[in-house]
Amino acid sequence: MIRPESDFIYERNSERFGYTQDELSRIAGFFRTPIQPRPVHSAYDIKEPNNQILLSYIISGKKIHRKELADLLGHPEKMYKALQNAVPAKVDLDSLPDLKQGRDYFWPMSEITGQLRVMHGDCFVCNWDDSLFIAKIKPQIYSFPDGDEYTYGLLTDEASANVHALLFGFGTMQGKAFLRKSFFDVMMALLESQKDDAYLAPHRDYLDGFEEAMKGICLSHELCEMKLVKEGYPSNEFMHYETLVEKVSRGFLEKKGVAREHYLLFHKLRAGPDEHDVSSQVLSSFNFKA
């Protein structure tokens, strides 16, 4: 997902004018749509759009470890109960922190996120549609198998509203990429909970090294999307555009030495039932077989 450069500021501003992590979480909580979980019969059902959003709240609200998350995914009844417990409650305005610079909670979300960016220069803050995403930035360097290195920002300590758990990152028109730590946690928990499933059997020899390859796959998508945007490629038709990005990304990954099997495993784990699910479209358009 490409975001404007103004969606983040690297320089840290004076924290005495900002908000605490708890306050940021409560601000995000105000914008959460009161959705209900969909039935969970297997780990696959966590990919339903409503369940993905609620899973984001579980991860950001608690410092849940991958092992705990994998255990939840392996026990559908426990997972469904956790999703029910994550359903947003009605927020009392009196319980919310006062917004600064004259804003209130009935201003457009873009105005509020703009103010948050000014107050928290070490944070990534953005909004789109009805979604709000706030996270800390940790600079990282990724080395592809061919030795080429790229910098990116790892997004941690999230506070969000209406954001899918399997959204893996953002890019900017100035060439900066950001990837979510929580996405990697979810994917590795999905892998752990399904590693003995038959559909993953062809990839068992490639489980080692998958997490490192996954970072490169996500980074490649953002880099290739930014390249297409700079070249002026129209992005108004979402699915066609995202599939094109993945086609360009696959060529990039081949040159960088990322194994095809890791790429296929990535999209098999991530693919879900949503009609706007890019991974499902990738598997179909590239004629990959389970």
Name the pLDDT band for 3 (thresholds 50, 70, 90).
low
Q: Are 66 and 185 in contact (CB under 8 A)?
A: yes
Structural domain tally of the chain?
2
Helix (H) or strand (E) holding 197, with range, is none
pLDDT for residue 203: 87
For 13-59, write each residue's pLDDT tens digit.
Answer: 334 347 888 888 999 999 999 999 999 999 999 999 999 999 999 98
- Residues of the domain holding 214: 182-279
- Kindly state whether residues 235 and 252 are assigned to the same domain: yes
Hey, what long-range contacts does 49-56 have (CB within 8 A, 24 or more apart)? 49/164, 49/274, 51/83, 52/164, 52/165, 52/166, 52/272, 53/162, 53/163, 53/164, 53/165, 54/83, 54/86, 54/87, 55/83, 55/86, 55/165, 55/186, 56/158, 56/160, 56/163, 56/164, 56/165, 56/182
- Kindly state whether residues 196 and 162 are assigned to the same domain: no
Hey, what are 88's tokens?
């947003």
- Kindly state whether residues 15 and 108 are assigned to the same domain: yes
- Kindly state whether residues 208 and 246 are assigned to the same domain: yes
pLDDT for residue 1: 55
Give the chain's mean pLDDT.
86
- Kindly state whether residues 149 and 200 are assigned to the same domain: no
∠ Cα 90 92 95 (to 5°): 130
- Kindly state whether residues 156 and 218 are assigned to the same domain: no
- Kindly state whether residues 40 and 161 are assigned to the same domain: yes
For 248-263, write each residue's pLDDT tens digit.
Answer: 999 999 999 999 999 9
Residue 287 placed within a domain? no
- Kindly state whether residues 93 and 195 are assigned to the same domain: no
Nearest Cα neighbor of 290 from 184, 194, 152 is 194
For residue 103, pLDDT over 60 is answered with yes
Task: Give Cα 16 distance to the centre of its chain.
Answer: 29
- Kindly state whether residues 91 and 31 are assigned to the same domain: yes
Single out the residue in 150, 181, 212 at which a domain terminates. 181
